[in-house]
Amino acid sequence: MSATPPPSRAACAALDEADPLFGKRDLFSLPAGMIYLDGNSLGALPRAAAQRLAAATAGEWGEGLISSWNTAGWIDLPARVGARIAPLIGAAADEVIAADSTSVNLFKLAAAGARLNSPRRVIVTEPGNFPTDLYILQGLKAWLGEGVALRVVPREGLMAAIDADVALLVLTHVHYKSGALHDMAALTERAHAAGALTLWDLSHSAGALPVDLNAAGADLAVGCGYKFLNGGPGAPAFLFVARRWQGALETPLSGWMGHAAPFDFVDDYRPAGDIRRLLTGTPPVLALSALEAALGAFDGVSMDALRAKSMALGDLFLDLVEARLPHAGFTIACPRQGAERGSQVSLRHPHGYAIIQALIERGVVGDFRSPDILRFGLSRLYGGYAEIWESVDRLVPGMDGFLWQETRFSVGAAVT
Ligand SMILES: *Cc1c(COP(=O)(O)O)cnc(C)c1O
């Protein structure tokens, strides 16, 4: 329980007034009256992305047709978008490229990273990692058989599990449910001391908090384009390869876009000399165009300022829940210290699913993660303090049970 009472609605509104980031909200198109706390699942629509999509469709595609590959620079979109993501994650412009989905990039880099460090064959990860991360590693193991062994170790045991057999450490920097943050620098240092490489999943980190891959000495990374980067549903993902590995890393998906000279149309594969060797097929031009425009929302924004605000918003949310809903059956399911969590807060409640549905009906959009986690993303580019106050305020009257006990709130949908 915090010692000081949480601020009033008016005090929160005053914090918004004084917040230089609050104006960024105008860059986004949000439904009137909705409090959107789900940018960790699908980022809101940047107005610039909608405009760019319209222009890319009508002009570049409709008018320019095939010449737009050159005249509109379509062919360079994966590298151009990668270069734009790079400063958000502490990478050089030529170390990041946008391509495929996070899952596919995980497969490519896990396979390539493990092979790069053979004859070692152990891949270390943690239980409860995002499902696709685990499934991809399980699939890789099924394909390679004896070539790969998985060592799935709870986070407290990770440091000790990294030994001389380990080829690759594969972890998600910010946990998708709890929001708990790994110490990337310490784990990377430990991995390197043992001769292992690291592959970080930045899906809940990129655009959410400052990440410094190169300061941490990270080797490989992947991340998502549709969460905190606001690239739109199913936006292309990105991948990072430290410059020192770019000449040696071999992709398992050796498609023509990764070839040194794709338009020579020769029979034999020869990888590009740089990070483009991790490309596979033709880039999704419209989706990349939207993502490129969306990234403009980060122009001139200090990630440190974003971070400070997201920690403050998270603290405010948790303080308010503790103060106003002490007996409602919630437990805090994320680290209580802002510095130890990503840009989200999580609560646990046995009726979590129904509560989230009831809250959505009251205009506050969070999400539910099975079996009992309520997640609230804190996207500081378009969120504010008063919204957090309002969200908890709308949660309070429902918690005497009458609202979420209505059966309509318990009907499951395909996507939660
Ligand atoms: C959202 C997310 C993904 C998404 O993978 P896709 O292939 O883009 O669907 C992967 N890993 C983590 C940790 C995520 O949070």
The tens-digit pLDDT sequence of the chain (416 residues) is 456 788 999 999 999 999 999 989 999 999 999 999 999 999 999 999 999 999 999 999 999 999 999 999 999 999 999 999 999 999 999 999 999 999 999 999 999 999 999 999 999 999 999 999 999 999 999 999 888 999 999 999 999 999 999 999 999 999 999 999 999 999 999 999 999 999 999 999 999 999 999 999 999 999 999 999 999 999 999 999 999 999 999 999 999 999 999 999 999 999 999 999 999 999 999 999 999 999 999 999 999 999 999 999 999 999 999 999 988 889 999 999 999 999 999 999 998 998 999 899 999 999 999 999 999 999 889 889 999 999 999 988 766 654 556 667 777 777 77
Among protein residues, the one with the nearest Cα to ligand 1's atom 4 is: 102
One-letter amino acid at 393 equals: D
**What backbone torsions phi and psi does residue 168 show, to the nearest 5 degrees?**
-150, 135
Q: Which residues of 227-250 are buried (b: 16+ CB within 10 A; e: fewer)?
A: bbbbbbeebbbbbbbbeebbeebe
Which residues are known to be catalytic? 130, 201, 226-227, 375
Select from 100, 105, 132 the residue to mutate for testing ligand 1; criterion: most ligand atoms less than 8 Å from CB.
132
Rg of the chain (C-alpha set) = 22
Select from 41, 42, 102, 291 the residue to mutate for testing ligand 1; criterion: most ligand atoms less than 8 Å from CB.
102
Residue carrying structure tokens 């784990």 = 187
Ligand 1 pocket list (CB less than 6 A): 101-103, 130, 132-133, 172, 176, 201, 203-204, 224, 237
Q: Distance between CA 166 and CA 187 in Å, rounded?
A: 13
**Cα 203 to ligand 1 centre (Å):** 6
Full-model pTM: 0.96
Q: Kindly report the CA angle at 162 between 156 and 166, in degrees rounded to 5?
A: 140
Instruction: Sort 55 into a burial class: Cβ within 10 Å, 0-12 / 13-18 / 19+.
Output: middle
Q: Distance between CA 303 and CA 41 in Å, rounded?
A: 20
Q: Distance between CA 311 and CA 309 in Å, rounded?
A: 5
The single-letter DSSP state of residue 145 is G
**Cα 135 to ligand 1 centre (Å):** 11
**Cα 288 to ligand 1 centre (Å):** 17
Contact 376, 366 (CB under 8 A): yes
Instruction: Sort 219 into a burial class: Cβ within 10 Å, 0-12 / 13-18 / 19+.
Output: buried
- Ligand 1 atom nearest the C-alpha of 204 is 15
Among protein residues, the one with the nearest Cα to ligand 1's atom 2 is: 203
Q: Distance between CA 262 and CA 346 in Å, rounded?
A: 46
Nearest one of 208, 214, 228 to 38, comparing CA atoms: 228
Give Dmax (Cα) for the chain.
70
Among protein residues, the one with the nearest Cα to ligand 1's atom 14 is: 203
